[in-house]
Amino acid sequence: MGVGGCLALPWRCLVVLCLRLLFLVPAGVPVRSGDATFPKAMDNVTVRQGESATLRCTVDERVTRVAWLNRSTILYAGNDKWSIDNRVVILSNTKTQYSIKIHNVDIYDEGPYTCSVQTDNHPKTSRVHLIVQVPPQIVNISSDITVNEGSSVTLMCLAFGRPEPTVTWRHLSGKVRQTFVSEDEYLEITGITREQSGEYECSAVNDVAVPDVRKVKVTVNYPPYISNAKNTGASVGQKGILQCEASAVPVAEFQWFKEDTRLANGLEGVRIESKGRLSTLTFFNVSEKDYGNYTCVATNQLGNTNASIILYGPGAVHDGGNAASRVAAGLCLWATLLARLLLDF
């Protein structure tokens, strides 16, 4: 109430002043146990945000005046409402109980509430503390991110709640789900690898309600490497297919060469098809001139790699380019023959 209201209604201001002098007890001053067995308020009241809180105070027939106060603000004096908050209503004002209810409780409602009574011209008070619990809520989280392999990454997940929620990170991709617990709501990954790419889940928990869960996608770029490239045999006049498989992020682009000549799709009876990690070189009608060594080159913005693949005909011996094994086998054979010659001498 402003100054103008007091000038217009001086008697009302006088009542307010009397009530405050009558009912208010300085903060931190406890009720003496010898004062009386009343008024007796409830123990601490705990409610979730958005729920209703009921504050009860036990009285008896000796009480002549009653009031509920929140800090220095009078909510109700008897049946008269002083609070302008329409969420606050009176529940009962009887010879045994004086209670109020606060609907749709929010954080700012938390704090001490005082039940004050007047009896035999002696004011007495009892205090109850309202505790408001807030479900966990993630209020800020990192956006999806793309980094190069070997970089350091910091993921942020800021959460709010009462009590303070615990933040947990989980790596959802891959065969093994790694769990990281971060007390400061930041997850740091030093020297990130391609295996650590994928989705990371942030979960905020405080046991007031179900956890709040959000996800961040981490993409790790790395240069191509060819994981599958095998020599292939085909008869003259038949179809022959060479395959080259390469892993890379971003996805690799493929080129095919024979000797030093780059092959073009649709020319000289060949077709080149590249989709995702796989590129194929197809010969629809193999001829003698098609036999030989081909090179598959995989390239992305971080680098390139290549592999040699041989198309050979029937009767040709190809072991996947394992020339070293053939040389070693030949040397063993010559060593055996030489040993036998020496024994004969």
Q: Can you tell me whether residue 233 is helix, strand or coil?
A: strand
Contact 216/145 with Cβ under 8 angstroms?
yes
Residues 6+ positions from 131 with CB-CB distance below 8 Å: 44, 45, 46, 47, 110
Start-to-end CA distance of the chain, whole Å, equals 127
As a whole number of angstroms, the distance between CA 45 and CA 58 comes to 15
pLDDT in tens, the chain (345 residues): 333 334 334 434 444 444 444 444 333 333 332 344 556 656 789 999 999 999 999 888 888 899 999 987 999 999 999 999 999 999 999 989 999 999 999 999 999 999 999 887 788 888 999 999 999 999 999 999 999 999 999 999 999 999 999 999 989 876 656 666 666 789 999 999 999 999 999 999 998 999 999 999 999 999 999 999 999 999 999 999 999 999 999 999 999 999 889 998 877 779 999 999 999 999 999 999 999 999 999 999 999 999 999 999 887 655 444 443 333 333 333 343 344 334 444
Q: What is the pLDDT of residue 141?
A: 97
CA gap 276, 270 in Å, rounded: 20
Token pair, residue 257, equals 């060469």
| Beta bridge mates, 198 | 218
CA dist 67 and 44 (Å) reads 18
In this prediction, residue 61 carries a pLDDT of 83
The pLDDT score that the predictor gives to residue 291 is: 94
Q: Domains in the chain, ordered, with CATH?
A: 6-27+35-134 (2.60.40.10), 142-222 (2.60.40.10), 230-321 (2.60.40.10)
